[in-house]
Structure 1
Amino acid sequence: MGAVGLLYVGAVLFLNGVMLLNKVDPRAAGIFNLFVGALQVIVPTLLIVTNQARPAAILAASGIYLFGFTYLYVGVNLLGNFDSTGVGYYSLFVAVMALGYSFANFRVLNDPAFGVIWLYWAYLWFLFFVLLGLKKEQITRYTGWVTAIEGWVTAAIPAFLILTGYWRNPQTVAVILAIFGVVVFGGLWPLTRGREPSAAAPAPSDEELGVSDQRHRPRWT
């Protein structure tokens, strides 16, 4: 069941990534964030309720709430056109906790592959904190690419391999993921700096809209 939820985490991360690259309207992405956020709250609840005698399973399921609440928060934020600061500082909390879950996967659950994947997520949610909490918009393009790539590498592909029975050799997978992350995300940094995506069309002025406020304009950062 957890792998099913992880598959759709891949979908929402990919969608949010391309949204940051100005390929998807924020309000359209907000709806799908609510769908996946609800799924990521229901799934761990069912896993915990049905595994009361298995502390390791409860530990593994408990981390899913971090992401479920993220997507619900993002979805409401996008649809309501709220300021992003709350999502940003919540992302800092998730980034710190992700380091703890990475340690737990390495030392408690004996799953080095997901130990590395949790490090990926810690890095991504820290980027969300810098972008949304600290308002450092110069990393928008970089964060968009990292988000979209992580949607496939940390969620969609692992989930599909788990569901089909091909998720094997976690030690080897951990090494491959670690090398991939350093090379790709390190290489993306100089390629994306100073090349922020521009809006597809200029926003209409207040005079053109006939209003004196901007509350109904979509905003992500």
Structure 2
Amino acid sequence: MAIVGLLYVGAVLFINGLLLVGAVDPRAAAPMNLFVGALQVVTPTYLIFTSGGDPAVILAASGLYLFGFTYLYVGIGLLAGLDTTGVGWFSLFVAITALGYSVANFQLLGDPAFGVIWLYWAFLWALFFVVLGLKRDSLTNYTGWVTIIQSWVTAAIPAMLLLTGLWRNPTAIAIGLAIGGAVVFGGLYLLDRRRARRAPAPTPAPSVPAATG
């Protein structure tokens, strides 16, 4: 059940990445965030209630709420036109917590591939914090492309491999993801900074005389 949810996490990350790069209207992105947010709250609740108290199952399911609450927060914010600082600072909480889930996957669950994937998510939510919480708009485009890439690499593709029984050799996958992430996201950052330097300076908005009583 959690694997199915992971597939749709890929879908909503893809939409949100396109939103950040300006390809999707904010209100148009809201429904998918609400759909997947609700799914990622219902799914872990069901898994925990049916776990029989198994600590490993409860641990694995508990992390899904981080995604569910994020997407519900984003969806409601997009529809209501809320300021992004709330979801931005919540993203900092998610980023820090994701580091703990990464350690848990390495040390307790014996899953190095998802240990690295949780590091990917920690990095992504840290970017959300910087862009949405600290309002560093210069990183919006970069964050959008990181989101689009992660939608496939950390969610949609792993989910399809898991659903079809083709997810094999987690250690090799972990090594590939670790090296690939460093190269791709580092290179993407350099390209984005080069693009930003070459972009023409924005034209100053015309001043508006102050109104007098």
How far off is 1:177 after superposition?
0.4
How far off is 1:52 after superposition?
2.3
How far off is 1:31 after superposition?
1.2
Cα distance in 2 for partners of 1:168, 1:102 equals: 19
1:35-54 superposed matches below 5 A? 35-54=35-54
TM-score by length of 1: 0.87
1:62-211 superposed matches below 5 A? 62-193=62-193, 195=195
Letter in 2 for 1:44: P
Letter in 2 for 1:55: P
Letter in 2 for 1:120: Y
TM-score by length of 2: 0.91
The structure with higher relative contact order (CA 8 Å, sep 6+) is 1
Structure 1 residue runs of 4 or more that deviate by more than 2 Å after TM superposition: 193-196
Task: Say what the alpha-carbon RMSD is for the aligned residues.
Answer: 1.1
Per the alignment, in what secondary structure is the counterpart of residue 193 of structure 1?
A: helix
Identical positions, percent: 69
How far off is 1:195 after superposition?
4.1
Letter in 2 for 1:129: F
Q: 1:203 is matched with which residue?
A: none
Deviation string, structure 1 residues 3-55 (Cα, Å, up to 9, x no partner): 00000000000110011111110100011100000000000011111112311
- In structure 1, runs of 5+ residues without a counterpart are 199-221
Cα distance in 1 for partners of 2:176, 2:26 equals: 33
- In structure 2, runs of 5+ residues without a counterpart are 200-213
Q: 2:206 is matched with which residue?
A: none
Is the CA contact (8 Å cut-off) linking 1:139 and 1:193 kept in structure 2? no
Question: Aligned residue pairs: how many?
Answer: 197
Is 1:31 matched with 2:31?
A: yes
Per the alignment, in what secondary structure is the counterpart of residue 149 of structure 1?
A: helix
How far off is 1:193 after superposition?
2.2
Cα distance in 1 for partners of 2:130, 2:183 equals: 21
